[in-house]
Amino acid sequence: MSAGPSHLQQIFLARQPILDRAQNLVAYELLFRTGEGPTADVRDDLQATASVIIHAFSEMGVREVLGDKRGFVNVSADLLLSDMVELLPRDQVVLELLETIAISEEIVDRCRALKNKGFTLALDDFVSLDDVYRPLLGIVDVVKIDLTIVDPSVLAGMVRQLQAWPVKLLAEKVDHPEQAQRCLALGFDLFQGYYFAMPSVLSGKRVDPSTLVLLNLLGLVLGDAEIAEIEQAFKHDPNLTYNLLRLVNSVGSGVTQKINSLKHAIVVLGRRQLQRWLQLLLFTMHHRTSFQYPSPLMQLAATRGRLLEILAGREHTGDPDHQDRAFMAGIMSLLDVLLEMPLADIVAHLNLAEDVRLALLERRGALGRLLLLAERLEQGNFEATADLLRQSPALDLKALTEAQLEAMAWANDIASPAP
């Protein structure tokens, strides 16, 4: 990816998944910060906020950031009332009205005008059905309820009141499966939080047979087994063959010819790519939920793995093996979530390089630092992200942003249906 304008260096970007009732990924909330100065300071003035948002959509590119999903963008009162907001792609953004906006007749009129122009609006951090909000409830499309600031005892009553308006309800800060189940039962339409990616470690949990076969296959590839041995292992579960072919025939595989057989896939892809797709394939074998292909967890893992690979390449140029191990550390860092078992138990099944093992289990070493960097960025912890960036002379905010966009685009391609 070519270097962009110099002010691209000043942008931190994070995105948090938003899921529907079937746990399909439908949108992201985009979090922006300016990165000027030695720390990740947040600028609240109109110019900084507007320029960051507009740069993200014009210079970074909507496709790289969002793929075919919508993006929720926080807007202040000043930005809402300015003409700049109308530069955003109205068919792909949701204007999220911050809770700091004082609701006035001017604000209501502006929201109505933007709605008439085709924009989708969301009301952030809704806490009570005060009269001041009623005019907006007839205009906005989504109402976000932060579970950390609403008393659980009043949540059901609040939902019943809001269901009188034609709005979708979004549960925010859903961090546990129990919260997700309650909000689903109450009638929420959308969910935001880490509940779908929260470890739920059960002592002595057995891994399903397909996953064991897949882990065995990954071990064979890592151990340089013969192609015939790898092919034979696939035959223990024909469904794995179907899933692998589906994955490698997606637009993100970089393969120009249609792959119709397992042997063909192994020969054409080569071991490096086969190892990569086996790692991704783990996230398509997720039987414990109703996730459809591709799952949000798969996209998160794919983005994380690719981001680490790119950053490792910047730190260790000309060392593809190190980049492969970085990809592995990134994508395997979510396997405890996927398999609902301790990561140490999963790592014990595989003959991993020592730097990958230390990164996964202790966040130590060069790969451990990159893994921490990706995690802090996903969490929107920009101050910690800046601190970690300063530990690598080869990385800066511009390099991180470019790597992030490339990783997002790659993961979005992976999520595209196979032709």
The domain locations on the chain are 6-197, 201-419
What's the average pLDDT block by block, 10 residues per block, for the chain (419 residues)?
A: 40 82 85 55 52 62 79 88 84 90 93 95 87 88 93 92 93 86 93 64 45 76 78 73 69 61 74 79 56 64 91 88 89 80 80 89 95 90 90 90 87 63
Residue 180 CB neighbour total at 10 angstroms = 21
Q: Which residue has the tokens 């990164």?
A: 359
pLDDT in tens, 243-272: 677 666 665 556 666 666 677 777 777 777
Neighbouring C-beta atoms of residue 164, cutoff 10 Å: 9
**CATH hierarchy code of domain 6-197:** 3.20.20.450
Structure pTM?
0.72
Place of tokens 């967890």: 297
CB 323 within 8 A of CB 275: no
CATH class (in words) of the domain with range 201-419: mainly alpha
Exposure letters 4-21 (e unless 16+ CB within 10 A, then b): beeebbbbbbbbbbbbee
Q: pLDDT, tens digit, for every residue of 47-60?
A: 555 655 666 666 56
DSSP 98: -
